[in-house]
Structure 1
């Protein structure tokens, strides 16, 4: 303790008696994040962190306990939940270290292993599957599947798409907002990564959207901007639900998307619950996000480069796009062969290397004997 005082590293052991939940509340209040992230952190703290560590004194929390807790969350709820809960725990303990309540952060110990996101290679659907999924949509919602497959927009971005975002002169779609759920409420918000972008629109996509606009005559619709109590934001939404409100992702998934998957043969026939309602069984791999993978596969196959694709998909880092879709890049073997042959044609016309026998013969001296040489003149009869 005296040495720590001299070094300026002394921390009062009594400070470590503070309960975890007190510091966690301060950490959560200090976060400057978007509302959806704040809700996610609060949920992780309430459901997974505080029930285990909330009443504990900070000084009693051990790395081995954290390691076992993370592993249990990963096994029971998956890597995403485990990573979020760990982030909240780690951040709270880091705040305690900065406040000199504890000396070290036990969540940083080497024994604590944070699970990596699980997932293999992305597999893109074929053209026939995507066409059948679109056909399985009711006519008024069929353009949703079309825009997803033809432009690569996220689900919330499609639900937030407005007439004023579609530029038929420049043949582009401006992705400016998404419909976002905050708790039980919904808002308009910037697309993921808080970045607007522009996506090229094909002739076929333009035709589908023109027909949809003519048939539905979109009207103004208002939601708060970014926060539940945010300023009103009004646009002419392209897609509305049967109650004339915005489309909710869960409702769309259960009543439109999953039946379309069954129509396309992607998932099996639904069962019935106790109330006679259909229950479809699908995985995250079959979610609407799969249309983005399809879009990536067809654009890469036709020569769109990774940097351009990252911009169209709204990825903040082209490296992420490359890691996600590198296996979809078309083989360049034949192009490489042609490039080499065209540039190095002269090289391949040069005489090839001598064989091993010819090389050995070149290194060994050749001895010749001339019996007609006049030795009296001092000429050698043997020459090399």
Structure 2
């Protein structure tokens, strides 16, 4: 059932029984025409308009939506973006570090623009302007993650019937694509110079990065029990991962363990390292901050006999070694007299993994 009601007049019967229109108490006040319809749940809904034609158009649209099964309660779109965002973030079944990143990206890049807005008010053109602004200030990966979070929240709005269609899926919304940079593997001379530039306590780290292709977190999490000296193998079974302010043991990237060959010279280097620096028994939660504690005899330790943290290693060991090896210039000093290095991803520890891959390919072995 659907009809249009005139709020300014009503029909009464004269003494002789004839219908006659008379003014109501709200005549001339507010909107005159009320579109009235019954939703699929049997509830009467209504919206007021200034013009009768608009009210008639509304009931026609609602009737067609109900018939197609596309009906959305007009008041549902009034829900605030922040309410949907909280539900979406809480519902993510992802790796803990990924969830922390989503929450961080939402807090810094999504919420400031959208949090207080009714979800139905968000337009494709506004999303594109937001993407363009982010792209001018941040790396492509940050923009892509911010858009992923926004799109996920708007998809939830569609699923919960707060809106019919996601404005993030409009053809005019274009997210920048990450450009594929050509990777040039470091030379043998550069890798050897970098290894020599490391202090003795940490020298085995770049050795194994170059010899076995381990990622940074996998090197930090490598334990004595992962080394098979007889078979000349390394079993890559865990990494040390940062979760917010905490650290945990976790499976390697993509949740996959693997076994890699251990060259003879690298095996001997491990033995020399162990004779000078015995393994460190380290206990950390598994996968989550409140996970079950696991203890492993780590090959590498920090100067305080604790596990190595990525930032500490990068700023006080890796980057100074890059300077000594002639890879990057000496650092400047910031206003607080802290060393400020000029680096990019091309000078990160991951370069040793690229070097390893190039050596394997040169030898006809798939990395």
2:88 — aligned with what?
Answer: 27
1:217 — aligned with what?
Answer: 278
String of CA shifts for 1:315-362, please: whole Å, max 9, x gaps: xxxxxxxxxxxxxxxxxxxxxxxxxxxxxxxxxxxxxxxxxxxxxxxx
String of CA shifts for 1:160-219, please: whole Å, max 9, x gaps: 000000000111100011010000111111101011110111001101011111221113
State yes or no: 1:153 paired with 2:153: no
2:196 — aligned with what?
Answer: 135
Q: Distance in 1 between matches of 2:113 and 2:69?
A: 33
RMSD of the TM alignment (CA)?
1.0
Hey, which bits of structure 1, 4+ residues long, moved more than 4 A? none
- Please say if residues 88 and 152 of structure 2, whose CA atoms lie closer than 8 Å, have aligned partners that are also in contact: yes
Per the alignment, do residues 2 and 275 of structure 1 end up closer, same or farther by CA in structure 2, a change over 3 Å counting? closer
- Match runs of 1:253-272 below 5 Å: 253-272=314-333
Q: Distance in 2 between matches of 1:47 and 1:172?
A: 44
2:266 — aligned with what?
Answer: 205
String of CA shifts for 1:254-292, please: whole Å, max 9, x gaps: 111111111111101212234443322111111000000
Q: Distance in 2 between matches of 1:267 and 1:274?
A: 21
- Please say if residues 223 and 296 of structure 2, whose CA atoms lie closer than 8 Å, have aligned partners that are also in contact: yes
2:185 — aligned with what?
Answer: 124
2:54 — aligned with what?
Answer: none
Q: Distance in 2 between matches of 1:74 and 1:250?
A: 26
State yes or no: 1:245 paired with 2:310: no
2:153 — aligned with what?
Answer: 92
- Match runs of 1:220-369 below 5 Å: 220-305=281-366, 309=367
1:336 — aligned with what?
Answer: none
Partner-residue secondary structure (3-state), 2:172: coil
2:111 — aligned with what?
Answer: 50
- Please say if residues 97 and 243 of structure 2, whose CA atoms lie closer than 8 Å, have aligned partners that are also in contact: yes
Q: Distance in 1 between matches of 2:152 and 2:201?
A: 46
Q: Give the drift of 1:119.
A: 3.7
Partner-residue secondary structure (3-state), 1:251: helix
Equivalent residue for 1:172, pick from 226, 233, 236: 233
Equivalent residue for 1:81, pick from 134, 142, 161: 142
Q: Distance in 2 between matches of 1:249 and 1:215?
A: 23
Q: Give the drift of 1:146.
A: 0.2
Whose radius of gyration is greater, 1 or 2?
1
Q: Distance in 1 between matches of 2:203 and 2:280?
A: 19
> Which has a greater percent of helix?
1
Q: Give the drift of 1:115.
A: 1.4
Greater RCO, CA 8 A, separation 6+:
1
Equivalent residue for 1:36, pick from 91, 97, 110: 97
**Alignment length (residue pairs):** 306
Q: When the two structures are superposed, what TM-score results if normalisation uses the length of structure 2?
A: 0.82
Partner-residue secondary structure (3-state), 1:77: coil
Q: Distance in 1 between matches of 2:303 and 2:180?
A: 36
Q: Distance in 2 between matches of 1:58 and 1:220?
A: 51
Per the alignment, do residues 57 and 217 of structure 1 end up closer, same or farther by CA in structure 2, a change over 3 Å counting? same
Partner-residue secondary structure (3-state), 1:39: helix
Q: When the two structures are superposed, what TM-score results if normalisation uses the length of structure 1?
A: 0.78
Unaligned runs of 5+ in 1: 310-384
Q: Distance in 2 between matches of 1:276 and 1:193?
A: 40
Q: Distance in 2 between matches of 1:275 and 1:208?
A: 39
Q: Give the drift of 1:59.
A: 0.8
Q: Give the drift of 1:75.
A: 1.6
String of CA shifts for 1:90-112, please: whole Å, max 9, x gaps: 00000110111100000011111
Q: Distance in 1 between matches of 2:133 and 2:336?
A: 34
State yes or no: 1:187 paired with 2:263: no
Partner-residue secondary structure (3-state), 1:76: coil
